[in-house]
Amino acid sequence: MSNNKPRTLFDKVWDNHVVQRKEGFPDVLYIDTHFIHEVTSPQAFNGLRNRGIQLARVDQTWGTADHNVPTKDQHLPIKEALSRHQVETLTKNCDEFGVKLYGLGHPFQGIVHVIGPELGVTQPGKTIVCGDSHTSTHGAFGSIAFGIGTSQVEQVMSSQCTLQNKPKAMRIVVDGELQDGVGAKDIVLYVISKLSASGGTGYFVEFAGSAIQNLSMEGRMTVCNMSIEMGARGGIIAPDQTTFDYLEGREFAPKGEKWEESLAYWKSLPTDEGATFDAEFVYDAADIAPMVTYGTNPGMGVGVDKSVPTPESESDKKALEYMGLKEGEALIGKPIDYVFIGSCTNARIEDLRAVADFVKGKKKADGVNVWIVPGSKQVEKQAIAEGLDQVYAEAGFELREPGCSACLGMNEDKVPEGMYCISTSNRNFEGRQGPGARTLLASPLTAAAAAVKGHIVDVREELTTA
Amino acid sequence: MKYTKSTCVPLNIENVDTDQIIPARFLKATTKEGFGDNLFRDWRYDKQDQPIADFVLNQDTYKGEILVAGKNFGCGSSREHAAWSIDDYGFKIVVSSFFADIFKGNALNNGLLPLVVSEEFLAELFADIEADPSTTLEVDLESQTAWITGKEDNKQSFEIDDYKKMCLINGYDDIDYLLSLKENIAKYEQDRVYAFNV
Instruction: Give the 3-state secondary structure of residue B147.
Output: strand
**Set of chain B residues whose Cβ sits within 8 Å of the Cβ of A255:** 197
Q: Does B175 touch chain A (CB under 8 A)?
A: yes
Task: Sort B6 into a burial class: Cβ within 10 Å, 0-12 / 13-18 / 19+.
Answer: middle
**pLDDT confidence bin for B1, thresholds 50/70/90:** confident
Shortest distance, CA B47 to any CA of chain A (angstroms) = 9
Shortest distance, CA A360 to any CA of chain B (angstroms) = 35
- Residues in contact with A210: Cβ distance below 8 Å, sequence separation at least 6, in sequence order: A174, A175, A176, A285
Residue A1 has pLDDT above 90, yes or no: no
Which of B164, B177, B196 is the closest to A32 by Cβ? B196
pLDDT of residue A179: 98
Closest CA in chain B for residue A163 = B174
Look at the alpha carbons of A130, A133, A136, A138 in this order and tell me if their dihedral is positive or negative. Answer: negative
Q: How far apart are CA A281 and CA A191, in angstroms?
A: 9
Residue A3 has pLDDT above 70, yes or no: no
Report, as an integer, the average pLDDT of A324-332.
Answer: 98
Burial A448-466 (b: 16+ CB within 10 A, else e): bbbbbbbbbbbbbebeeee
The DSSP bridge pattern shows strands A100-102 and A438-441 to be unpaired
Instruction: Give yes or no for a contact between B101 and A63, defined as CB atoms under 8 angstroms apart.
Output: no
CB pairs under 8 A between A and B: 195
**Set of chain A residues whose Cβ sits within 8 Å of the Cβ of B185:** 19, 28, 30, 56, 159-161
CB contact under 8 Å between B20 and A158, yes or no, is: no
Q: Does A313 touch chain B (CB under 8 A)?
A: yes
Residue A465 has pLDDT above 80, yes or no: no
Residue B131 has a CB neighbour count (10 Å cut-off) of: 8
**A406-430 pLDDT, tens digit each:** 999 899 999 999 999 999 999 999 9
Q: Does B101 touch chain A (CB under 8 A)?
A: yes
Percent of the residues in chain A that have a pLDDT greater than 70, as a whole number: 99
Q: Which of residues 268-297 of A touch B (CB under 8 A)?
A: 297
pLDDT of residue B192: 96
Please give the single-letter amino acid code of residue A213.
Answer: Q
CB contact under 8 Å between B178 and A265, yes or no, is: no
Please give the single-letter amino acid code of residue A275.
Answer: A
**pLDDT confidence bin for B170, thresholds 50/70/90:** confident
Mutate to test the interface with A, among B35, B77, B177 (most CBs of A within 10 A): B77
**Set of chain B residues whose Cβ sits within 8 Å of the Cβ of A94:** none
Residue A436 has pLDDT above 70, yes or no: yes
Strand order of the β-sheet with B3-11 is B113-116, B93-96, B66-69, B3-11, B136-140, B145-148, B156-157
**A164-212 pLDDT, tens digit each:** 999 999 999 999 999 999 999 999 999 999 999 999 999 999 999 999 9
Q: Does B24 touch chain A (CB under 8 A)?
A: yes
The helix (H) or strand (E) run that includes residue A98 is none
Closest CA in chain A for residue B160 = A24
CB contact under 8 Å between B163 and A151, yes or no, is: no
Mutate to test the interface with B, among A225, A265, A315 (most CBs of B within 10 A): A315
Shortest distance, CA B4 to any CA of chain A (angstroms) = 24
Strands, DSSP E only, in A111-257? 127-130, 144-147, 161-164, 168-175, 203-208, 234-236
- Name the residue among A211, A40, A71 with its Cα closest to residue A135: A40
pLDDT of residue B172: 83
Backbone phi and psi for residue B3, each to the nearest 5 degrees, phi listed first: -140, 135
DSSP code of residue A268: T
Q: Does A160 touch chain B (CB under 8 A)?
A: yes
Shortest distance, CA B122 to any CA of chain A (angstroms) = 16
Instruction: Give yes or no for a contact between B44 and B37, defined as CB atoms under 8 angstroms apart.
Output: no
Mutate to test the interface with B, among A31, A39, A157 (most CBs of B within 10 A): A39
CB contact under 8 Å between A155 and B174, yes or no, is: yes
**ipTM > 0.90?**
yes
Strands, DSSP E only, in A230-314? 234-236, 279-284, 291-293, 301-303
**B129-169 pLDDT, tens digit each:** 999 999 999 999 999 999 999 999 999 999 998 999 989 98
CB contact under 8 Å between A28 and B178, yes or no, is: yes
Supply the mean pLDDT for chain A. Answer: 97
Q: Does B197 touch chain A (CB under 8 A)?
A: yes
Instruction: Give the 3-state secondary structure of residue A385.
Output: helix
pLDDT of residue A235: 98
Report, as an integer, the average pLDDT of B56-74.
Answer: 97
**Set of chain A residues whose Cβ sits within 8 Å of the Cβ of B13:** 314-315, 318
Backbone phi and psi for residue B151, each to the nearest 5 degrees, phi listed first: -120, 50
Residue A37 has pLDDT above 70, yes or no: yes
Q: Report the Cα–Cα distance between both ends of chain B, in Å, rounded.
A: 42
CB contact under 8 Å between A86 and B181, yes or no, is: no
